[in-house]
Structure 1
Amino acid sequence: MELIDTIEQWAWIGWLVLILVFLVIEMLTLDFTFLMLGIGGLAGLLADLLGAPIWLQVIIAAGVAAILVLVLRPPLLRRLRRGEDPTPSNVDALIGLRGTVVSSVGAHGGQVKLANGDIWTARTEAGDLEPGMPVRVSRIDGATAVVRSDSPTPPTPAV
């Protein structure tokens, strides 16, 4: 019983540490999840300062954090992302991009020149593509573009 009394006596320090950890993580992620958890920890700290038992502090902290994550976080994220540029960038911008086969592309390799001017190592999931054939990027697998034929004729099957 003495251990529980000691934990309840010093719980406020635990709440402060937890709140600080959540706020530091929130500054690194900017996703509002850890901010909501930190506010839940603040509710637990307030319950401790008002003399609530440790089990009630935890329930209050968890309840407040859950409500904030479910109710307040989604509109905050929408408001934060409202001004973002919707144009895909990096690898996402390559998906669906047209190109031309530079050297024969098969299941094990080849090269394509994409519409943006980049030359990529490429492979197909099915068939072979000959130089000059139009292609479209299906996905990026590491540093390799997985392409499919963009012409009306189907690719020739691999032998």
Structure 2
Amino acid sequence: MDIEAWVWWLIGAAGLGIPLVITAMPEFGMLAVGAVAASAAAGLGVGPVLQVLVFVIVSVALIAVVRPIANRHRSQRPELATGIDALKGRQAVVLERVDGSGGRIKLAGEVWSARALDGGSSYQPGQQVDVVEIDGATAVVL
């Protein structure tokens, strides 16, 4: 029994999918897509030379386009603020009058000592303030 060319291309695509899963190298996936494209070309009755050409063109095009995009996204990981860095820029509620010399706020569910960024400013209980920075155990607010 003769197996048609498009079936061989699909077997090749499945074969390229195995190292993709084992090694997590996306290039194998792009080659597998090229094999599927060649299988489609074979199903349309295209000759063997053009099938190989379709495989090569699709595979190379995917590698040339997708790989640089993936590398760019891999190197631009989102920065996750933790600890006191995560508190900067958050809003807090004044519990006790806050001025240049001190006071108390509720920040992220905890009571913090606080002082105003501008020594001449003061904030009354109930007011919303923004945390500019954390200085030791004191929140500097605005």
**Normalising by the residue count of structure 2, what TM-score does the alignment of the two structures yield?**
0.49
Identify the structure with the greater strand proportion.
2
Looking at CA atoms only, which structure, 1 or 2, has the larger radius of gyration?
A: 2
**Normalising by the residue count of structure 1, what TM-score does the alignment of the two structures yield?**
0.44
